[in-house]
């Protein structure tokens, strides 16, 4: 059953840039009431202004979504949400031998444990029929993305387990994009990003990278299809084939 997003309350953790911002834009266009969470008041204010110049249907809060106390206080002071999207977690380069244990542990903490905490808290604040959507990843290898791969695999396991625990009232899924030029790679120059995109495209059957809009649309699909739960939806151009 395809559900409309019109009038639905959607929380987007990490909704001020990249995939999160584009998912927010598409959700607003579909008639949803969107609340974005970002790190700084400036980023949140800019996102809210851009998403809805008149301030209609879009609100925002600046907080550290990895802080359990801040997140708990926020959720307890909000009406329940119909959908919660999480873009928590970052990227990591290098294998197991050329990274420190601390760096690998931090990558797993940022990707898996931050999302586990969010799921445990947000699940108590979902309306019946609602869903959680996390962000995993595709296309990397243990030898060149060690901690990030562990984090993604753990996200996938979390989704499978929590789907059974939440059923039949609520759902949980994840989107697994592959390398896509977004603000996550802001440390790279435009020329470096273009070179990376060109090199990456050679190993993708579709011979290109995804657009941010293509990845974001997967979150919209998972919100609207009420018979999908416990799944990880790759948006990767077939890179693992």
How far, in Å, CA of 32 to CA of 161, rounded?
28
Q: What is the pLDDT along the chain (241 residues), one digit of tens a residue?
A: 678 999 999 999 999 999 999 999 999 999 999 999 999 999 999 999 999 876 678 999 999 999 999 999 999 999 999 999 999 998 888 999 999 999 999 999 999 999 999 999 999 999 999 999 999 999 888 999 999 999 999 999 999 999 999 999 999 999 999 877 766 555 667 666 676 777 778 888 888 888 999 999 999 999 999 999 999 999 999 888 8
- Architecture in CATH of 9-235: 3-Layer(aba) Sandwich (3.40)
Compute the radius of gyration of the chain from its Cα atoms: 17
φ, ψ (nearest 5 deg) of residue 25: -60, -45
What are the boundaries of each domain within the chain? 9-235
- Alpha carbons 148 and 220: distance in angstroms, whole number: 24
Report the number of secondary-structure helices (H) and strands (E) in the chain.
8, 7
pTM, two decimal places: 0.93
């Amino acid at each position: 059953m395809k559900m409309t997003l019109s009038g639905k309350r959607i929380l987007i953790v990490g909704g001020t840039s990249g995939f999160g911002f584009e998912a927010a834009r598409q959700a607003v266009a579909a008639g949803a009431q969107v609340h974005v969470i970002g790190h700084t008041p400036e980023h949140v204010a800019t996102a809210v202004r851009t998403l809805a110049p008149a301030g209609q249907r879009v609100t925002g809060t600046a907080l550290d979504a990895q802080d359990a106390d801040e997140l708990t206080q926020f959720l307890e002071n909000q009406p329940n949400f119909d959908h919660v999207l999480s873009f928590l977690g970052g990227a990591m380069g290098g294998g197991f031998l050329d990274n420190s244990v601390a760096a690998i542990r931090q990558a797993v903490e940022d990707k898996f444990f931050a999302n586990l905490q969010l799921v445990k808290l947000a699940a108590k604040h979902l309306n019946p029929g609602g869903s959680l959507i996390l962000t995993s990843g595709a296309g990397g290898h243990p030898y060149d993305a060690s901690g990030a791969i562990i984090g993604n695999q753990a996200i996938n396991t979390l989704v499978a387990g929590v789907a059974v625990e939440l059923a039949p009232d609520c759902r949980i899924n994840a989107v697994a994009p592959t390398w896509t030029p977004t603000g996550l790679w802001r440390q790279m120059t435009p020329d470096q990003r273009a070179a990376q995109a060109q090199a990456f495209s050679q190993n993708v059957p579709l011979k290109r990278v995804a657009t941010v809009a293509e990845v974001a649309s997967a979150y919209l699909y998972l919100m609207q299809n009420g018979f999908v739960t416990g799944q990880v939806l790759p948006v990767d151009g077939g890179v693992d084939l």
